[in-house]
């Protein structure tokens, strides 16, 4: 019974449409990807908007593949898109459609438009048609065949369909207005000849409908009420409406509403550029964890919840802006902080020998699995004479603000003991090879009975039970916050050479021995990591999803 609270201008318009009693007060949206690439975070915004809006109003959302160009589209992409939409947590139920489902209807309706004298065949080549379209300041000129008879057009259109013409020989155009200030209304193409097999219809067709002709009609036949798309289609709207006007046979009418696409700092979002990154090997594949693709984010360790929350937080407007990637990172930190199993991993091990600890003794200490969620319980972590800490947690000559381990200083090993550094051992070159420390047996569990405090708590891994692992540290794919924004420089010039750092010899506690791919962890004090699909029982591989927030001011 709660009143519906619109979250953005599109939902406000839907409220108004509903109040006006339009379309029997139905709300039906669709997500219409072209299967010519993998989905990215920008699509996630659209998916969340379309499915989320329908849900808000008790309506439905279709998944429809916009597959009108067989030259670019492949089944591989269809499969990945369905997987990604599902992973995000949305369900199109039985409403899976393809624009190619409507090829027959589209053909029949084109015939109808020809009969009405509103479409004609043009035999001119591409350059000529383009030239005749005029310029924004000069009206176009009519094609010589603009006024040919419906009978003539019908005959030729049938021949086109039969394959009697070569690719490019002729096209079908809508007869609208060659003088329109909107270039899209200057007799746009409806059909072109493409002698290419289609991923679903095979060799059945050699003529294929153009987007503008297919999209609105598909919406109409599916009963879509609100056709939500991005800003670049705004100038197409009069054309969308023109075709709907010709089709409409009742009060029902779909409505196109545009919003601004998502841009994020330090990455690129165009499918063309993402394809280029993959094809030219700048990243390993579409699911490379540095990619803004949905599969890339998934492999990186992002959760569906975090992506959905991000889509919610960025908002929906017509302002063409750039969202700070920090917001995305905030969303995954917030989600994983509540849910991720804590574990200790040392990525740059510095050996410590506890000189007063019995040689062969292995103790176990209790560690909390997630301080944010008591129900996740505790685990045992082995502790022994030789342990490793992060090399950067020790400083031989500490600065003022450095309050971790240093000669003579005492720190806590998390969940274990206080230790004090007594000796620094170096090799001939002067590199620190190990530290000799003593532990205080009285501080087992991490607290001193005498109440004394230490300023720092370090993560650690004991040599006993330690597992070797590989850690892949990711950074921004581009060094410039706006790699697309420079007209003189190609976006590839801003590729970050350090976007991937593979650290091969890390040590991790035995708890993760049988970790399953994609499981999220927090490595205490380091960040959130997940198990990469490359991981094996012999060689564990982790991806750094995102570091912990770092307020460390040196």
Partner RNA sequence: UGCCCGAUAGUAUAAUGGUAGUACAUCAGACUCUGACUCUGAGUGUCUAGGUUCGAAUCCUGGUCGGGUAACCA
Q: What is the spatial distance between Cα 545 and Cα 365, in angstroms, rounded to a whole number?
A: 28
Residue with smaller CB distance to RNA, 341 or 464:
341
Decide if residue 215 touches RNA (CB under 7 A).
yes
Decide if residue 532 touches RNA (CB under 7 A).
no
Angle between helix 103-115 and 150-162 (nearest 10)? 160
Task: Evaluate whether 52 touches 286 at the Cβ level (below 8 Å).
Answer: no
Q: Which of these ranges, 6-14, 23-31, 153-161, 530-538, lies near RNA under the rule CB under 7 A? A: 6-14
Decide if residue 189 touches RNA (CB under 7 A).
yes
Q: What is the spatial distance between Cα 371 and Cα 373, in angstroms, rounded to a whole number?
A: 6
* From 75, 126, 433, 486, residue interacting with RNA (rule: CB under 7 A): 126
Decide if residue 45 touches RNA (CB under 7 A).
no
* From 30, 226, 333, 385, residue interacting with RNA (rule: CB under 7 A): 333
Decide if residue 377 touches RNA (CB under 7 A).
no
* From 182, 201, 464, 496, residue interacting with RNA (rule: CB under 7 A): 182
- 527 by DSSP, 3-state: which? strand
Does 271 qualify as catalytic in the annotation?
yes
Q: Which of these ranges, 49-57, 307-315, 379-387, 464-472, lies near RNA under the rule CB under 7 A? A: 307-315
Of residues 67 through 96, those in contact with RNA by CB under 7 A are 68-69, 71-72
* From 21, 249, 281, 401, residue interacting with RNA (rule: CB under 7 A): 401
Residue with smaller CB distance to RNA, 308 or 342:
342
Q: What is the spatial distance between Cα 327 and Cα 312, in angstroms, rounded to a whole number?
A: 11
Does 404 qualify as catalytic in the annotation?
no
Residue with smaller CB distance to RNA, 337 or 496:
337
Backbone conformation region of residue 56, classed left if phi is above 0, alpha if psi is from -120 to 50, else beta: alpha
Q: Tell which residue, 484, 406, 419, has the closest CA to residue 446.
A: 419
Bridge-based pairing of strands 467-474 and 500-508 is antiparallel
User: Residue 223 Cβ, how far from RNA at the closest point, in Å?
Assistant: 19
Bridge-based pairing of strands 460-462 and 386-390 is antiparallel
Of residues 534 through 553, those in contact with RNA by CB under 7 A are 548-553
Residue with smaller CB distance to RNA, 288 or 520:
520
Task: Evaluate whether 88 touches 47 at the Cβ level (below 8 Å).
Answer: yes
Cα-Cα-Cα-Cα dihedral of 372, 542, 86, 373, to 10°?
Answer: -10
Backbone conformation region of residue 233, classed left if phi is above 0, alpha if psi is from -120 to 50, else beta: alpha
* From 104, 108, 162, 232, residue interacting with RNA (rule: CB under 7 A): 232
Q: x/- site string to RNA, residues 131 to 170, per CB under 7 A?
A: --x-xxx-----------------------------xx-x
Decide if residue 17 touches RNA (CB under 7 A).
no
Does 34 qualify as catalytic in the annotation?
yes
Residue with smaller CB distance to RNA, 15 or 500:
15
Catalytic residue, chosen from 55, 72, 253, 261, is 261
* From 18, 34, 150, 275, residue interacting with RNA (rule: CB under 7 A): 34
Of residues 451 through 470, those in contact with RNA by CB under 7 A are 456-457, 459
Applying CB under 7 A, what is the total number of residues that bind RNA?
88
Decide if residue 124 touches RNA (CB under 7 A).
yes
Backbone conformation region of residue 24, classed left if phi is above 0, alpha if psi is from -120 to 50, else beta: left
Q: What is the spatial distance between Cα 239 and Cα 209, in angstroms, rounded to a whole number?
A: 14
Task: Evaluate whether 269 touches 46 at the Cβ level (below 8 Å).
Answer: no
Decide if residue 525 touches RNA (CB under 7 A).
yes
- 417 by DSSP, 3-state: which? coil
User: Residue 176 Cβ, how far from RNA at the closest point, in Å?
Assistant: 14
Decide if residue 208 touches RNA (CB under 7 A).
yes
Q: x/- site string to RNA, residues 472 to 511, per CB under 7 A?
A: ----------------------------------------
Residue 401: how many CA atoms within 13 Å on its side-chain side?
4
* From 87, 107, 252, 330, residue interacting with RNA (rule: CB under 7 A): 330
Residue with smaller CB distance to RNA, 458 or 477:
458
Which residues make Cβ contacts (< 8 Å) with residue 447, sequence separation at least 6? none
Residue with smaller CB distance to RNA, 72 or 284:
72
Burial of 397 (0-12, 13-18, 19+ CB in 10 A): exposed
Residue with smaller CB distance to RNA, 101 or 524:
524
* From 30, 236, 299, 300, residue interacting with RNA (rule: CB under 7 A): 236
Decide if residue 447 touches RNA (CB under 7 A).
yes
Decide if residue 450 touches RNA (CB under 7 A).
no
Residue with smaller CB distance to RNA, 89 or 398:
398
The per-type count for the chain, helices as H runs and strands as E runs, is 12, 25
Largest Cα separation within the chain, whole Å, is 102
Q: Which of these ranges, 39-47, 329-337, 351-359, 529-537, lies near RNA under the rule CB under 7 A? A: 329-337
Task: Evaluate whether 198 touches 74 at the Cβ level (below 8 Å).
Answer: no
Q: What is the spatial distance between Cα 202 and Cα 164, in angstroms, rounded to a whole number?
A: 18
How far, CA to CA in Å, does 259 sit from each of 45, 232, 314, 315? 11, 9, 12, 10
User: Residue 243 Cβ, how far from RNA at the closest point, in Å?
Assistant: 14
Catalytic residue, chosen from 34, 74, 83, 234, is 34
Decide if residue 225 touches RNA (CB under 7 A).
no
Q: What is the spatial distance between Cα 173 and Cα 446, in angstroms, rounded to a whole number?
A: 78
Catalytic residue, chosen from 45, 237, 271, 298, is 271
Please report, in angstroms and rounded to a whole number, the separation of the first and last CA atoms in the chain. Answer: 55
Residues designated catalytic: 34, 261, 271
């Amino acid at each position: 019974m709660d009143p519906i609270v619109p979250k953005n201008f599109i939902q406000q318009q839907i409220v108004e449409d509903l109040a006006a009693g339009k379309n029997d007060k139905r709300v039906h949206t669709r997500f219409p990807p072209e299967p010519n690439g993998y989905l990215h975070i920008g699509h996630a915004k659209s998916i969340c908007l379309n499915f989320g809006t329908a849900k808000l109003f008790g309506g439905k959302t279709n998944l429809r593949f916009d597959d009108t160009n067989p030259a670019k589209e492949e089944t591989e992409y269809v499969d990945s898109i369905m997987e990604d939409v599902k992973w995000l947590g949305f369900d199109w139920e039985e409403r899976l459609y393809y624009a190619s489902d409507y090829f027959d209807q589209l053909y029949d309706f084109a015939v109808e438009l020809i009969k009405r004298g509103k479409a004609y065949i043009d035999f001119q080549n591409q350059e000529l048609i383009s030239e005749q379209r005029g310029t924004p300041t000069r009206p176009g000129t009519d094609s010589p065949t603009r006024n040919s008879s419906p009978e003539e057009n019908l005959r030729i259109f049938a021949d086109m369909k039969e394959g009697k013409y070569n690719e490019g020989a002729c096209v079908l155009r809508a007869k609208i207005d060659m003088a329109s200030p909107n270039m899209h209304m200057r007799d746009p193409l409806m059909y072109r000849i493409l002698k290419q097999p289609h991923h679903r219809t095979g060799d059945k067709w050699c003529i294929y409908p153009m987007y503008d002709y297919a999209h609105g009609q598909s919406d109409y036949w599916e009963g879509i009420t609100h056709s939500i798309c991005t800003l670049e289609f705004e100038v197409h709207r009069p054309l969308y409406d023109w075709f709907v006007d010709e089709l409409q046979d009742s009060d029902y009418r779909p409505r196109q509403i545009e919003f601004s696409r998502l841009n994020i700092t330090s990455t690129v979002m165009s499918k063309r550029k993402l394809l280029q990154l993959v094809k030219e090997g700048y990243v390993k594949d579409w699911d490379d964890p540095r990619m803004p693709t949905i599969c890339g984010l998934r492999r990186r360790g992002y959760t569906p919840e975090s992506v959905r929350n991000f889509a919610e937080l960025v908002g929906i407007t017509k302002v063409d802006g750039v969202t700070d990637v920090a917001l995305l990172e905030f969303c995954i930190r917030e989600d994983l902080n509540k849910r991720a199993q804590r574990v200790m991993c040392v990525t740059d091990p510095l050996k410590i020998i506890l000189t007063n600890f019995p040689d062969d003794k292995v103790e176990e200490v209790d560690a909390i699995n997630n301080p944010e969620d008591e129900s996740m319980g505790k685990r045992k972590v082995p502790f022994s004479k030789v342990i490793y800490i992060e090399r950067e947690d020790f400083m031989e000559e500490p600065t003022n603000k450095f309050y971790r381990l240093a000669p003579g200083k005492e720190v806590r090993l998390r969940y274990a003991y206080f230790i004090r550094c007594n000796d620094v051992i170096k090799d001939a070159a002067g590199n620190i090879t190990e530290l000799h420390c003593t532990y205080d047996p009285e501080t087992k569990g991490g607290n001193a009975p005498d109440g004394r405090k230490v300023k720092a708590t370090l993560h650690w891994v004991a040599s006993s039970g330690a597992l070797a692992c590989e850690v892949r540290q990711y950074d921004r794919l581009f060094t410039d916050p706006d790699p697309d924004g420079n007209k003189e420089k190609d976006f590839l010039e801003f590729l970050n050479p350090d976007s991937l750092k593979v650290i091969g010899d890390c040590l991790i506690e035995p708890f993760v021995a049988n970790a399953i791919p994609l499981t999220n962890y927090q490595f205490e004090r380091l960040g959130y990591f997940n198990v990469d699909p490359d991981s094996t029982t012999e060689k564990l591989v982790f991806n750094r999803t995102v570091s912990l927030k770092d307020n460390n001011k040196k």
